[in-house]
Amino acid sequence: MDIKALKILFDDKSLISAEAVRAPMENGWVLHFERRNGDITMIGTTREPAKAKIFRSLDAAASAVSEIGFIGFKVRLKEVVADVEAPEHFKLKG
């Protein structure tokens, strides 16, 4: 989705929040926009709108978020990994 379309969704009150998330395997950030229906939308690249645009800095991400109409956004520095219990047959050596 492009910034122009996201502005329309923002003006229509269809976007709830914006969040910058570390781009996996990239040196940059991806913007996630939470929609009122619970879906997550991202800004796409010009060549491939379905592929998430990578912002090289938080300043660049903040400019895009501001242009859409938000006055702030969240920054997620790390992915939260859920605790997983080991299967019963698994034993640690020690």
pLDDT band at 82 (very low <50, low <70, confident <90, very high): low
Report how far residue 55's alpha carbon sits from residue 9's, in angstroms, rounded to the nearest whole number: 21
Residue 7 burial (C-beta neighbours within 10 Å; 0-12, 13-18, 19+): middle
- Give pLDDT tens digits for 26-78: 889 999 999 999 999 999 988 988 899 999 999 999 999 999 999 999 999 87
Residues in the chain: 94
Instruction: Please state the pTM of the whole predicted model.
Output: 0.79
How do the domains of the chain map onto residue ranges?
Answer: 3-76
Report how far residue 6's alpha carbon sits from residue 12's, in angstroms, rounded to the nearest whole number: 10
In the numeric block, which tokens belong to residue 81? Answer: 């990994």
